[in-house]
Amino acid sequence: MNLKSRFTCTVALALSGFCLPTLAAPGEIPAPPTIDSKSFALLDFDSGELLAGNEPDARVEPASITKVMTTYVAFDEIKHGRLKLSDTALVSEKAWHQGIDSSESRMFLTLGSRVTIEDLLRGIIIVSGNDASIALAEHIAGSETAFAELMNQEAQKLGMKNTHFVDSSGLPDPDHYTTAHDLALLGRALIRDFPDGYKIYAERSFKYGIEHAQENRNGLLQKDPSVDGIKTGHTNAAGYCLLSSASRDGRRLISAVMGAPSWAYREQASLELLNYGFRFFEKASFLGPTAPAATIKVYKGAESQLAVGTLEPVSLSLPRGSKDQLQMQQQIESKAIAPIVAGQVLGKLTIQLNGKDLKTVDLVALKDVAKGGFWRRFIDQIKLWLGL
């Protein structure tokens, strides 16, 4: 027989076991800025929530923001020991020729030379070198076409459901597309999975093969000290695009502006979105291994009580001022019978604001409970038969 328990209480009081009626809805927040672009998305880094957007899932061309995935694949290869920063890649005719054709977006590689992976990564990230992108792709996968398959595999793993790559640099192609939302997800994954590699995105300049250093194309790095990435993009078809991220007071946001009318406007629009997110939303973090959601009865165990909750803190991004008005509705699906292992799912927790479901997470055992002795198991079995 299943035992189901459901109740609603504020997050602040849930841990004490006292439940109160739902409080009044929080005040409305202003609408996001009006942005002159094909699409945009504003994402909270910790929770992964989309805070604002206009056509965030509409298909657009990523242009050179493609190179974020190129570097993501490379960082993953390094992480798994299949690639080293000190390895050298041969500059093929294709890579060299692409650099010549892309008079602005190139690292100035020399045909037939060998270049370290570390230099290629800086050439891709800081100066957006198309030649560097192809040289890196060919070194990792043998050809740019094969490398694009690796890019698509990573995109699927990251939940980029509306993205498909055909090259490593972002040249226009009908089958090369993404969305503002997908790019924000990619930016989040890059920062989360490769924090050391991500630091390169904040570097202001890079010099290779020419007399003077080339400046990072992301102008926001110079305009706002909280901005530390990520990548610009532009083609005639794509318009001016910018994937950016900023960290302020322990919070990080990611913005993707696609198809803006000018390089200056894409920076202005991106900064407006970031400022909006930091001003009108706040972070809520609760539960985790030291803050259980509830204590439940355990049958046939060495212990009779068990704390349930989440193994990691739950993060939400909320309209500012509404943190204390959250409600939690939990459901324990069945009677807990030992042995139980930490992490075992025992129920669900739904977090609500003003009657709207925000997030549902598993409630799990926060520690092991071993099987009890003979008499404990015998008595508890009788209780189970009697429904006690």
pLDDT at 161 over 70: yes
pLDDT at 174 over 80: yes
CA dist 358 to 114, 156, 258, 348, 350, Å?
A: 52, 24, 27, 13, 7
- The total of other beta-carbon atoms located within 10 Å of residue 324's CB is 13
Tell me the two tokens of residue 328: 């939690």
The active-site residue, picked from 128, 133, 244, 270, is: 128
The active-site residue, picked from 37, 39, 47, 64, is: 64
In this predicted model, what pLDDT tens digit does every residue of 65-99 receive, in sequence order? 999 999 999 999 999 999 999 999 999 999 998 86
Number of H helices, E strands in the chain: 11, 18
Query: Which pLDDT score, from 0 to 100, does residue 277 have?
Result: 97
Query: Which pLDDT score, from 0 to 100, does residue 13 have?
Result: 30
Assess whether 128 carries a catalytic annotation. yes
In this predicted model, what pLDDT tens digit does every residue of 9-47 receive, in sequence order? 333 333 333 232 222 344 468 899 999 999 999 999 999
The active-site residue, picked from 67, 300, 323, 335, is: 67
Query: Which pLDDT score, from 0 to 100, does residue 104 have?
Result: 67
Which pTM was predicted?
0.85
Q: What is the DSSP string of 24-48?
A: PPPPPPPPPPP--SSEEEEEETTT-
Query: Which pLDDT score, from 0 to 100, does residue 121 have?
Result: 98
**Rg value, the chain, Cα:** 26
Assess whether 262 carries a catalytic annotation. no
Structural domains present in the chain: 5-25+285-386 (2.60.410.10), 39-260 (3.40.710.10)
Query: Which pLDDT score, from 0 to 100, does residue 101 have?
Result: 67
Assess whether 67 carries a catalytic annotation. yes
How does residue 105 score in pLDDT terms, banded at 50, 70 and 90?
A: confident
E strands, 100-197, in order:
114-116
Tell me the two tokens of residue 242: 């910018």
